[in-house]
Amino acid sequence: MLKSQICDIIGIKYPIIQGGMAWVADSSIAAGVSNAGGLGIIAAANAPVDYIREEIRKAKKLTDKPFGVNIMMLSDNADEIAKMVCEEGVKVVTTGAGNPGKYIDMWKEHNIKVIPVIASVALARRMERYGVDAVVAEGCESGGHVGELTTMALVPQVVDAVNIPVIAAGGIGDGRGVAAAFALGALGVQVGTRFLVAKECTVHQNYKDKVIKAKDIDTEVTGRITGHPVRVLRNKLARKYKIMEKEGASIEEMEALGRGALPKAVKDGDIDNGSVMAGQIAGLVNKEETCAEIVESMVREASEVIEKIKQEMY
């Protein structure tokens, strides 16, 4: 069985965490992943507090296993969401896009495990000083907002720099990726793109189909000049971004183009003019499966790879 300290900290069967994908990660997929033995995540993003509260309550009806909420620190209602997860008895909080430091004491008082997503050694060290339970070291292979370092480069440096568990993210889509993450010193993985095509995932079918059809070279990063680069699958919107970047468009013009683009793809199925966020691992994703099938196959493959390496090394 694939097991690590992360399982004991969170109370899960397998050290597999579902990514907090904005507009995607709701109660359905979170409960599906948690029931499969991993840690499901509901993404708060910029959604209304009452909506996230309702999603948490829905998830509790769908699973008796631990699940978490991802809070985007730059969100206008981050303060309200941070308090609400305490009221609702959420077991785990993952964070991104900012510093969660001012909330950590409050979360700890409510026995919430805190796991920030980080993209640098410096931020990992800062989070450790704040007393977080673990960090997710996310490489730029991931979908959505990305940093600069690759997973292969980032994870071992973070592992060496901190004494808390490190969870690897970015470019992990099967058991080989899981085994590689453990070889780098990680004690768990966070997976996003593979779960986009889970049967429990409620994204529009057009979005799923585009991910399934994607090849290894079909993602690109847009919006670097805004300071918030995003990895997406190539489409008309991405091409517009690239043209605007070459023509020297202002940050305001770039941000205006992207406003509302993610829900346009996720909810409306407009995969030409919407933002189809996905990681470089999309080329490995070729079919819809249940969350349980995804988790079980990743665990089985990882165990087989680890055993094969043991047998072949001499």
pLDDT digits (tens, 9 = 90+) for 230-244: 899 999 999 998 888
User: If you average pLDDT over residues 204-217, what whole number do you get?
Assistant: 96
On whether both 19 and 97 belong to a single domain, the answer is yes
On whether both 194 and 50 belong to a single domain, the answer is yes
DSSP annotation string for 169-205: ESS--SHHHHHHHHHTT-SEEEE-HHHHTBTT--S-H
The residue whose two tokens read 């072949």 is 312
Helices (H), the chain: 5-10, 27-35, 49-62, 78-87, 101-109, 121-130, 151-161, 175-183, 193-196, 205-213, 236-246, 251-258, 261-266, 291-312
Q: Is the pLDDT of residue 255 over 90?
A: no
The percent of residues in the chain predicted with pLDDT above 70, rounded, is 99
pLDDT of residue 148: 85
Mean pLDDT of the chain: 92
User: If you average pLDDT over residues 52-64, what whole number do you get?
Assistant: 95
Q: Is the pLDDT of residue 313 over 70?
A: no
On whether both 18 and 136 belong to a single domain, the answer is yes
On whether both 188 and 293 belong to a single domain, the answer is yes
pLDDT of residue 17: 97
Q: How far apart are CA 232 and CA 116, in angstroms?
A: 22
pLDDT of residue 245: 83
**Strands 188-191 vs 166-169: parallel, antiparallel or unpaired:** parallel
pLDDT (tens digit per residue) in 86-108: 999 999 999 988 888 889 999 99
Structural domain contains residue 263: yes
Structural domain contains residue 178: yes
Structural domain contains residue 196: yes
On whether both 232 and 146 belong to a single domain, the answer is no
On whether both 237 and 273 belong to a single domain, the answer is yes
pLDDT of residue 260: 86
On whether both 147 and 254 belong to a single domain, the answer is no
Structural domain contains residue 208: no
Q: How far apart are CA 24 and CA 201, in angstroms?
A: 7
pLDDT of residue 179: 95
pLDDT of residue 98: 80
On whether both 55 and 181 belong to a single domain, the answer is yes
- Looking at this protein, which amino acid is placed at residue 143? G
| Nearest residue to 223 (alpha-carbon basis) of 172, 272, 169, 277 | 277
Confidence of residue 130 (pLDDT cuts 50, 70, 90): very high
Strand, helix or coil at 167?
A: strand
Number of domains in the chain: 2
Structural domain contains residue 36: yes
Confidence of residue 314 (pLDDT cuts 50, 70, 90): low
Treating both helix axes as pointing N-terminal to C-terminal, what angle do 151-161 and 121-130 enclose, rounded to 10 degrees?
40
Confidence of residue 162 (pLDDT cuts 50, 70, 90): very high
Q: Is the pLDDT of residue 75 over 70?
A: yes
What is the CATH classification number for the domain harbouring 291?
3.20.20.70
DSSP annotation string for 62-86: H-SS-EEEEEETTSTTHHHHHHHHH
pLDDT (tens digit per residue) in 133-146: 999 999 999 988 88
On whether both 47 and 78 belong to a single domain, the answer is yes
Tokens matching residue 106: 């409050």
CB 274 within 8 A of CB 265: yes
**Strands 40-43 vs 67-72: parallel, antiparallel or unpaired:** parallel
CA dihedral 218, 119, 72, 243 (to 10 degrees): -40
pLDDT (tens digit per residue) in 145-160: 888 899 999 999 999 9
Q: Is the pLDDT of residue 85 over 90?
A: yes
pLDDT of residue 1: 64
Confidence of residue 169 (pLDDT cuts 50, 70, 90): very high
Structural domain contains residue 188: yes
* pTM, 2 dp: 0.92
Structural domain contains residue 97: yes
On whether both 142 and 267 belong to a single domain, the answer is no
On whether both 133 and 168 belong to a single domain, the answer is yes
Structural domain contains residue 159: yes
On whether both 54 and 105 belong to a single domain, the answer is yes
What is the span of the domain harbouring residue 98?
Answer: 5-201+287-312
